[in-house]
Amino acid sequence: MSDGIVLGIDVGGTKLAGMASGGDAPVVRTEPRDDSPIDRQVVELARRLLAAASGSATAVGIATPGRVDVDAGVVDLAVNVGAEAVALGAAVETAVGAPAFVEHDARAVARLLAAEGGHSDVAYLSVGTGISAGVVVDGVPLAGARGLAGEIGHQLADPNGPVCACGLIGCLEAIASGPAIARAAMTGRVAGNGAEITTTADVYRRADAGDPDATAIVDRAARHLAAAVRGLVLAFGVTHVVVGGGVTHAGSPFERPLRRHLAAEREASILVDRALAGTTVAILGDDPLVGARAATLVARQGRVGGPRAAAPPGEEVGHR
């Protein structure tokens, strides 16, 4: 039995990844998500990690999609994991008897990238089941007054684009997320040689093989993601942008068109050229534990930044 175990748990669209560090040996567990309430699953994983590490926890960090109230440890609007007003922090604290810190997943990774790289201004653009960004400015993660800063997946990309899961039309997420890319390919029946395309990775593979329809879909996504990178640099003045998430695991078929569109933007606009000069744009690469490592950092750092005041339910932006 050892004390001083720090837990980091990452809640993903399809799985949970957790790690226990500080004990005799680090313990890592990845589990598929089921349909049970997310707080119960996180608590179960925390217990299993502690049992495997043979210790008690000193702090827990949880990275999750959705809107996170870092003060209350509550997550809501996490449509992809079915979490609506879940008191994740309190549930975990009660179960493991240690302080729990909940952070938005992309913001947690941005904090990790800032800490590991020694950068004060970083944006992490996550492109997976959904699209969102975590931004660290002057060393502080930016949550905004409503905890929704960085949710650029629901910025308009194309007014003639598809309907988004959020209800709006033409959101970036409706064009460049993994499901959006797969759906576009299915709609266009890209499936060559009678093969049925069902995954985003397939679309990138076929684009890489020269399929013109798949290439068009991939290129369109890349154009809008390049615009998103530009938007992050212009809006927040970050000097480092890292793009990660499941869609980026396609590798160079993802990266090449993104860099081509970034270069085209710099070619077309001296303002964008100046803004992007000296800005590093990197692809994170396939690191299945980055979320758990980020959550571990959140556990160690505790609350940094966060909404200045929680908005009362029903209050609309701009009403006073």
Give the binding-site size for Zn ion (rule: CB under 5 A).
5
Q: How far is the CB of 172 from Zn ion (least distance, A)?
A: 8
Q: Which is nearer to Zn ion, 5 or 172 (CB)?
A: 172
Q: Which is nearer to Zn ion, 134 or 170 (CB)?
A: 170
Q: Which is nearer to Zn ion, 32 or 167 (CB)?
A: 167
Q: Which is nearer to Zn ion, 39 or 151 (CB)?
A: 151
Build a one-symbol-per-residue string for 97-136: x at contacts with Zn ion by CB under 5 A, - elsewhere.
----------------------------------------
Q: Which is nearer to Zn ion, 171 or 175 (CB)?
A: 171
Q: How far is the CB of 163 from Zn ion (least distance, A)?
A: 9
Q: Which is nearer to Zn ion, 72 or 168 (CB)?
A: 168
Q: How far is the CB of 187 from Zn ion (least distance, A)?
A: 18
Q: How far is the CB of 86 from Zn ion (least distance, A)?
A: 21
Window 146-175: residues binding Zn ion (CB under 5 A): 154, 164, 166, 168, 171
Q: How far is the CB of 49 from Zn ion (least distance, A)?
A: 34
Residue 254 phi, psi (nearest 5): -80, -45
The answer to whether 170 touches 159, Cβ cutoff 8 Å, is: yes
Q: Does 28 bind Zn ion (CB under 5 A)?
A: no
Query: How does DSSP assign 66-99, residue by residue?
Result: SEEETTTTEEE-BTTTTBSSB-HHHHHHHHHSS-
Q: What angle do CA 83, 84, 87 make, to 5 degrees?
A: 85
Q: How far is the CB of 170 from Zn ion (least distance, A)?
A: 8
Q: How far is the CB of 191 from Zn ion (least distance, A)?
A: 27
Q: Which is nearer to Zn ion, 111 or 154 (CB)?
A: 154
Q: How far is the CB of 164 from Zn ion (least distance, A)?
A: 3
Build a one-symbol-per-residue string for 171-210: x at contacts with Zn ion by CB under 5 A, - elsewhere.
x---------------------------------------
Amino acid identity, residue 244? G
Q: Which is nearer to Zn ion, 20 or 172 (CB)?
A: 172
The residues binding Zn ion (CB under 5 A) are: 154, 164, 166, 168, 171
